[in-house]
Homo-oligomer: A and B are copies of this chain.
Amino acid sequence: MAEAEQKLASGTARIDFATDPLRYRHWKLGIDGKVATLVLDVDEKGGLFTGYDLKLNSYDLGVDIELADAFERIRFEHPEVRVVLLRSGKPRVFCAGANIRMLAGASHAHKVNFCKFTNETRNAIEDASAGSGVRTICVISGTAAGGGYELALAADHIILVDDGSSSVSLPEVPLLAVLPGTGGLTRITDKRKVRRDRADFFCTTEEGVRGKRAAEWRLVDETTPNSLLESAIAARSHEFAGDPPPYPPPQAGEGRVGAGEGREEAVIQGIALTPLERALSVGRRDYKYVSVAFDRAARVATITLRGPDLPSPASVDEMVSRGAAFWPLRVARELDDAILDIRLNELDVAAIVFKSEGEPQAILDYDLFLDQQGRHWLAREIRLKWKRVLKRIDHTSRSLVALIEPGSCFAGTLAEIVLAADRSYMLIGQREGDNRPPARIALGDVNLSGRLAMSNGLTRLHTRFLGEPEAHDTARQAIGQTLDAETAAVCGLVTFALDDLDWEDEIRVFLEERASFSPDSLTGLEANLRFGGPETMETKIFARLTAWQNWIFQRSNATGESGALSRYGTGRKPEFDTRRT
């Protein structure tokens, strides 16, 4: 397995996650009233890296970056959309899954991060359904193999053409000696609840399953002859478009529920997700509200989040008119981009340090505004976007630490970052020569409401205090109060409260220690400690399925010179070490 980095086709050194529909090479996004259509028509020559062609609608990270972008745009730019149709622009194939040559040539770190991102994209499709009522229908005419079928599994409804050849399959085990790791196995057992012995048969059958049996085994939701396909699609689209959108349950103090509802139905017009403005230099990455500074010798990336420079809006109309410049949305998009950049482009970074600058009260004001307007589509979408970004942080395989210093604004939504960190340090009192008041943190309703819940379905506070329900009650009582370091420590909200004398040494030693440990053992440690308590399909995908896939990606049976992934397409059979473990 070549661990040499593949070369980006763009000739640049970094993978860029920013795109827009005019630049898509692989997807075509069309909007027709309440129905959006996303057509997958992969440009064979449009691979992210050099060295492979994206045949048969197979995909690499570049294809998935466009898909993720498309769903973001549907939700923000076209909130009127109730149904997304996923279709293929090629005959006889829906999607052949992840490109094998890309996988065979990718570094272990890229393979793992590619799988993680594609899983997040599939989860976002499901989040659009659960959170925004955007139902996705996947139309399979031809073959949907491996990652192609995994993409279909993210949809609410799968229509399979019953023409004797269209099929769904997960041929990873027989063909490639790896797993259907983009949520495939988990969605088969936990979403579609396919009987386990049928799942075993299905996942070991290269050619997959067609027609009636696919429906009977619940691998798809309906089958239709080709001649009736368009009318079946139209019928389902019409049905799903008529479903009422989900609204969050009314919250205390929300007010004017009826008015909000009326407003949504009456004035439903999107906002433009304008391009992120970024200044990139060797050691920094500067957005408007987010900056990243790299200390590559120490293997640390410091992300500083800045609070809003405008007060929270006076009205929904003002929020909408601010659009992509609206602080909570802009900072979320910038933070998301920064995290992805570190994940894929800065593999040597051991720890991400989070800092913030601003007024805690300003953050709480914005949170209150979003709570009060919680029934407005844009307020709802911004919360859901934050939920996804925070989950992305939870699932980022780097040590996460929050430093809470004078002048910081870890309140409300931003306090979630403190709770997402593996550890947090808070400075007691003021610094010599710094007349800013001592650091404060503050919780808001948003930290307890579940609107920013983790993948395990619990709030970060709940997860933190699984063993200390009384601490959870104390946190609830502290909503809206700004807490100093010693109080925050007593309440269990931060790991350590330190005075200025100890601060620098403690942090330095911690970061040095983190950089000295085996990156792999830290990945395993953090993946286990971050998710106490219940499990969901999402946590199963990111913890169980991903861990097994990572293991298999290291095994010579898959990625060794004679492994199945390496020999795929060569005409030579793989050679296996037959010992079971």
- Listed in ascending order, the chain A residues whose CB lies under 8 Å from chain B are 107-109, 112-113, 172-174, 176-179, 185-186, 188-190, 192-201, 203-204, 218, 299, 347-350, 397-398, 421-424, 463-468, 492, 495, 513-515, 517-535, 540, 543-545, 547-552, 554-555, 557-558, 563-564, 574, 576-581
Contacts and interface: CB of A to CB of B under 8 A. Distances in A.
Given A464-B196, A465-B195, A468-B195, A518 B576 contact: yes
Given A194-B467, A463-B196, A518 B558 contact: yes
Given A194-B467, A196-B529, A543-B544, A520 B349 contact: no
Contact of A299 (B193, B551, B578): B578
A522 B422 contact: no
9 contacts: A112-B581, A179-B525, A185-B528, A189-B528, A193-B532, A200-B423, A204-B525, A524-B552, A544-B544
Nearest to A347: B579
Contacts of A203: 525, 529
B528 A179 contact: yes
Most buried by B among A173, A515, A554, A581: A581
B467 A555 contact: no
A188 B519 CA distance: 21
B521 A552 contact: yes
A178 B519 CA distance: 10
Contact of A201 (B423, B540, B580): B423
A550 B547 CA distance: 8
A289 B422 CA distance: 53
Q: Which of A347, A524, A531, A555 has the most CB of B within 10 A?
A: A524
A422 B581 contact: no
A567 to B, nearest CB: 12
Nearest to A421: B197
Nearest to A423: B197
B554 A492 contact: no
B189 A529 contact: yes
Which of A176, A515, A525 is most buried by chain B, counting CB atoms within 10 A of its CB? A525
Contacts of A555: 518, 520, 554
Contacts of A558: 518, 520-521
Contacts of A550: 547-548, 551, 581
Contact of A530 (B109, B196, B492, B563): B196
B467 A193 contact: yes
Nearest to A520: B555
Contacts of A198: 495
Given A190-B532, A525-B179, A581 B519 contact: yes
Nearest to A553: B551
B528 A467 contact: no
Contacts of A528: 179, 185-186, 189, 544-545, 548
Given A465-B195, A528-B185, A557-B518, A495 B581 contact: no
Contact of A199 (B204, B529, B564, B579): B529
B495 A201 contact: yes
